[in-house]
Amino acid sequence: MTDTAAHPSTGASTGASTGASTGTGSTAPLIDPFGRAVNYLRVSVTDRCDFRCVYCMAEDMNFLPKAEVLSLEEIDRVASAFVALGTRKLRLTGGEPLVRRNIMDLIRSLGRHIRSGDLDELTLTTNGSMLFKHAQGLAEAGVRRINVSLDTLDAPKFQAITRWGRLDKVMGGLEAAKAAGLAVKINCVALKGVNDDEFHRMVEWCGEMGFDLVFIEVMPMGEMGDVSRLDQYLPLSMVRAELRKRWTLDEIDYRTGGPARYTLVRETGRRVGFITPLTHNFCESCNRVRLTCTGTLYMCLGQEDAADLRTPLRLSDDDDLLVTAIREAITRKPKGHDFIIDRRRHAAAVPRHMSVTGG
Q: Does 55 belong to an annotated binding site?
A: yes
Q: Does 300 belong to an annotated binding site?
A: yes
Type of residue found at 255: R
Q: Does 95 belong to an annotated binding site?
A: yes
Q: Does 40 belong to an annotated binding site?
A: no
Q: Does 206 belong to an annotated binding site?
A: no
**Residues sharing a CB contact under 8 Å with residue 284, sequence separation 6 or more, in sequence order:** 336
Q: Does 149 belong to an annotated binding site?
A: yes
Q: Determine contact, residues 151/217, Cβ cutoff 8 Å.
A: no
Q: Does 188 belong to an annotated binding site?
A: no
Q: Does 125 belong to an annotated binding site?
A: yes
Helical axes 155-162 vs 167-179, angle rounded to 10°: 100
Q: Does 327 belong to an annotated binding site?
A: no
Q: Determine contact, residues 325/308, Cβ cutoff 8 Å.
A: yes
Q: Does 219 belong to an annotated binding site?
A: yes
Q: Does 293 belong to an annotated binding site?
A: no
- Which residues participate in the annotated binding site for [4Fe-4S] cluster? 49, 53, 56, 283, 286, 300
Annotated binding site for S-adenosyl-L-methionine: 55, 95, 149, 219
Residues belonging to the binding site for GTP are: 42, 91, 125, 185, 288-290
**Which residue positions form the known binding site?**
42, 49, 53, 55-56, 91, 95, 125, 149, 185, 219, 283, 286, 288-290, 300
